Amino acid sequence: MSAGPKHGKTMLSRGVDLLSLMILFGIMWGAGYMVPAYRGEAAVLAALGFLLLAGTLLSELVEVVGMPHLSGYLFAGIIAGPHVLHLVEHDSVKRLEPVNTLAIALIALAGGAELRIDALKRSLRSLLFALGLQTFLGIGLMAVVFAIARPAFVAHLPFTGVLGVALLWGVVAITRSPSACLGVLSQTRASGPLARFSLAFVMASDVVVVVMLATAVTLARPLVEPGVALSFSAFSSLGHEILGSVSLGTTLGLVLAAYLKVSGRQLLVVLIALGFGATEVLHYLNYEPLLTFMVAGFVVQNLSKQGDRFIHAIEETGGVVYVVFFASAGAHLNVPLLKDFWPTALLLTGARAAVTIGTARLSSVLAKDEPAVKKYGWGPLISQAGVAIGIASVIAAKFPSFGAGFRDVAIACVALNEMVGPVLFKLALDRAKESQAPAPTLDEASGDDPDAPAQS
């Protein structure tokens, strides 16, 4: 659907946003200057309020140049974080992690609820080609690039060891960002073939990445650690994790659907309880929360008539949570680390973008996709975020001989993809004419423009 006319703010309103942002930064800097030792709950509450307000204001300002709101949230966190202006300290960012837990749960529930069986049937051929090529060809090509680049942290390994690490890097390279995809789709209210394909592919690829990680770790260990025998025991625990997550997700989805049908009251409290409580239980049981919640959302949407109501409730709950989630993600980005590793990170990030775009175009041609998907199907695939860092951390823990360097370079690459990816995805949706006009404000709906000259 064509975007139509924009219902944007006036220049005066943008100026007020900019002035408010400057005042907010000034207040936070002054508080840190006058009370440099404040810690504990006061610091966490101050960081929470600051990231929420700064992220919201900056997202309105970056919209002027066509960037997604998500980029504004990220930039607010980067600028105010412990590595740039030090307005929000590292300890405060760490203590905001429970908000991230809630956000990930809401993102997974919303992602599953957005997947409709009829849409999946229409794009099944596209998904199969895209997942196959992006997974196997993507891992293979990125492994070759990594082996040729041979970063400093694998210089001490023999060639077979480098190949093993390259295989692991290939898995990190095919990891996408469901949070970034959903964030941009939510802002643009996009509708069309590209939006449907993006959502289905990014959510499905998360499941594929979990399987490929276990496979890569199993195959890489004998290459990196000579004398270690090839063992497939990891696949037993992987099967337990996936089947258990799907089973629990199905049960949770049916319970949520029944609750929505019978009552549906205090749904905000239910979603918050699920985000915090259920996530901890799933971690204790060694199940994957992202997959569990995604299946639950899918069940509510496709096995009941409560899907639209469920999505609306998540959007109402997640509005504030998403701002803090992405702003704190920006504050987490280690800017000095990116500065140290930028040559290697730039090479690997550029190669990943080229491989992603090339394989996306090839899979679209083979699947005979619609023109929008053929041309812009690579748009949602550039972004990376917490899932990629989590996978890099798992690899670092399993291979301590090179793990620290592997994780550092991965974080540097994720930082670049996290900043550039959402912008490219929004641009792709705009060019495909699938972005819709934002909902009109109260004044616009009534036909009043507070800044327009009076009519005689």
> Above 60 in pLDDT, residue 446?
no
pLDDT tens readout for residues 62-94: 877 777 887 888 888 888 888 777 777 777 777
> Above 60 in pLDDT, residue 3?
no
pLDDT number for residue 341: 78
Q: Taking Cα atoms as reference points, which of 306, 307, 324, 446 lies closest to residue 77? A: 324
Q: 99-431 belongs to which CATH class? A: mainly alpha
> Above 60 in pLDDT, residue 40?
no
> Above 60 in pLDDT, residue 454?
no
pLDDT tens readout for residues 157-181: 899 999 999 999 999 999 988 888 8
Average pLDDT on 105-114 reads: 82
Q: Which two tokens stand for residue 269?
A: 């409290």
**Residue ranges of domains in the chain:** 11-95, 99-431
pTM of this structure? 0.74
Q: What is the dihedral of CA 71, 77, 82, 88, to 10 degrees?
A: 170
Average pLDDT on 139-151 reads: 93
Q: Which of 82-91, 178-187, 340-349, 438-447 is least confident? A: 438-447
pLDDT number for residue 38: 54
CB 339 within 8 A of CB 416: no
> Above 80 in pLDDT, residue 264?
no
pLDDT number for residue 32: 63
The CA distances from residue 358 to 123, 130, 445, in Å, are 20, 11, 44
pLDDT number for residue 26: 79
pLDDT tens readout for residues 9-35: 677 777 777 787 788 777 777 766 666
Average pLDDT on 257-285 reads: 84
Average pLDDT on 256-266 reads: 85
Quick one: pLDDT band at residue 255, thresholds 50, 70, 90?
A: very high
The CA distances from residue 101 to 327, 352, 423, in Å, are 14, 28, 25
pLDDT tens readout for residues 190-205: 888 898 889 889 888 8
**Torsions phi, psi for 7 (to 5 deg):** -110, 65
Higher pLDDT, 393 or 249: 249
Average pLDDT on 300-322 reads: 82
pLDDT number for residue 448: 46
CA–CA separation, 332 and 31 (whole Å): 21
CB 414 within 8 A of CB 388: yes
Crossing angle of helices 178-188 and 403-431, rounded to 10°: 20
The residue behind tokens 């929420």 is: 52
Q: Taking Cα atoms as reference points, which of 342, 376, 385, 333 lies closest to residue 356? A: 376
pLDDT number for residue 453: 43
Crossing angle of helices 403-431 and 69-80, rounded to 10°: 140
Percent of the chain with pLDDT over 90: 20
Hey, CA dihedral for 12, 18, 22, 28, is it positive or negative? positive
pLDDT number for residue 234: 64
